[in-house]
Amino acid sequence: MQLNELRDNPGARRPKKRVGRGPGSGTGKTSAKGMKGQKSRSGVAIKGFEGGQMPIHMRLPKRGFNNIFRKDYVAVNTGRIQEAIDAGKLDAGAKIDGQALVAAGVIRRVRDGVRLLAKGELTAKAEFELAGASAKAVEMVEGAGGSIAQTDKPTEEQAAAKARKAETRRTKVIGKGHKKKK
């Protein structure tokens, strides 16, 4: 090694960072020193502030609502159940319900019930007891020789009450005591 060959290890010396040289450098404008004033303080929320004018989110109307009574069903596809039966995790001879699906690891939790959907093939003859099922899933289960009992099916009384409620909703009050059908 000669004296003229002496040099630092690669990466030991880095070039000086040139700050304040435009937005493309990443350190333009404030030269990586942040803001002054209100924006440098904590607890500032001026993102949607429009200078005292009524903000756009308050000028626009609200639409819709969240139904707090809506049921949260867990959807399970027929193909996933067939996979569990083929793997030996589910017994096709026993009744398949929410607890059996949780025990087999098909679903994590039952929530308000399990709903069967027709995605994939189902060849095993099985008896199901679930909260609901799509029409195609029922057709698929019965085609394979199985049966399905739906626990959340509305009773005749509930269906009649729903029809009465829909009928009363159709009437409209026009003035004092006068009713007119739409």
Q: 95-132 pLDDT, tens per residue?
A: 999 999 999 999 999 999 999 999 999 999 999 999 99
Distance CA 148, CA 132 (A): 9
Q: 9-53 pLDDT, tens per residue?
A: 999 999 999 999 999 999 999 999 998 988 888 888 778 888 889
Does 97 reside within a domain?
yes
In the chain, the number of structural domains is 1
Distance CA 67, CA 40 (A): 42
Give the per-residue pLDDT at 86: 94
Distance CA 7, CA 48 (A): 55
Does 9 reside within a domain?
no
Does 23 reside within a domain?
no
Give the per-residue pLDDT at 155: 77
Does 141 reside within a domain?
yes
User: Which residues form the domain of 123?
Assistant: 74-150
Mean local confidence (pLDDT), 139-154: 90
